[in-house]
């Protein structure tokens, strides 16, 4: 049975003919097993076939427009891995999720205010996960800047941007000068320190 396809954007940083490109266009009829997209890596090229005969109805656009990032209950997070620099081909979100939000949806598009974006990344998310000792700058919490028991990021809102791309994923975001985790500076004046104070955080479901 024929049906209509809605295809997602291939993602920022993917250049046609370099890493991935659509082999079809909106309105095009395709047969079962016709190639829809070509994915290129440094070792091989793979074509993704159509699962059935049909017509390409739409190619969806920017990820922030699929579920509007400004919707009141939308939290901001990432399931990206913590990669070893230069090893493997991780998704660019592993390096650029939060910088993407601050650069694109706050500065460029004005979809969110800076305060709202930071809250969705920190206090709002911590509350939803029921991790109540983090996410806010408040006495007695892990993120209190006064007692320096803190998870704090200092950045320049005019310069912050993600740089990781699908073909070059191992690129740090820019615009962040200092990062303090549990009161210890892990990035100071833009340079990585030898401090490693991070801890795995568990929610109330882990007993």
How much of the chain, in percent, has pLDDT values that exceed 70?
74
Which of these ranges, 121-135, 137-151, 155-169, has the smallest mean pLDDT? Answer: 137-151
The domain limits of the chain are 3-59, 63-192
Topology at the third CATH level for domain 3-59:
OB fold (Dihydrolipoamide Acetyltransferase, E2P) (2.40.50)
The conformation of residue 117, written as its DSSP 8-state character, comes to H
The 10 Å Cβ neighbour count of residue 26 is 12
Q: What is the pLDDT of residue 68?
A: 65
**pLDDT band at residue 16 using 50, 70 and 90 as cut-offs:** very low
Mean pLDDT value across residues 95-101: 91
pTM: 0.65
Contact 30, 36 (CB under 8 A): yes
Q: What's the CA gap between 160 and 117, in Å, rounded?
A: 13
Mean pLDDT value across residues 54-76: 66
Average pLDDT value for the chain? 75
Mean pLDDT value across residues 62-91: 77
Using CB atoms within 10 Å of the CB of residue 162, give its burial: 0 to 12 exposed, 13 to 18 middle, 19+ buried: buried
């Amino acid at each position: 049975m024929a049906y209509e396809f809605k295809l997602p954007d291939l993602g920022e940083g993917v250049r046609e003919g370099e890493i991935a490109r659509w082999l079809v266009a909106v309105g095009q009829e395709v047969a079962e097993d016709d190639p829809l997209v070509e994915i290129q890596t440094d070792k091989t090229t793979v074509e993704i076939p159509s699962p059935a005969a049909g017509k390409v109805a739409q190619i969806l656009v920017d990820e922030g427009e699929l579920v509007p990032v400004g919707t009141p209950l939308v939290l901001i997070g990432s399931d990206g891995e913590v990669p070893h620099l230069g090893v493997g081909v991780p998704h660019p979100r592993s390096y650029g999720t939060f910088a993407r939000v601050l650069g694109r949806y706050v500065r460029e598009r004005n979809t969110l205010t800076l305060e709202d974006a930071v809250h969705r990344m920190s206090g709002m998310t911590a509350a939803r996960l029921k991790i109540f000792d983090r996410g806010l700058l408040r006495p007695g919490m892990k993120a209190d800047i006064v007692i320096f028991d803190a998870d704090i990021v200092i950045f320049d809102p005019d310069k912050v941007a993600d740089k990781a791309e699908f073909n070059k994923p191992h690129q740090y975001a820019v615009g962040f000068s200092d990062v303090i985790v549990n009161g210890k500076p892990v990035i100071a004046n833009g340079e990585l320190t030898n401090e490693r104070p991070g801890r795995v955080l568990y929610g109330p479901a882990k007993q």
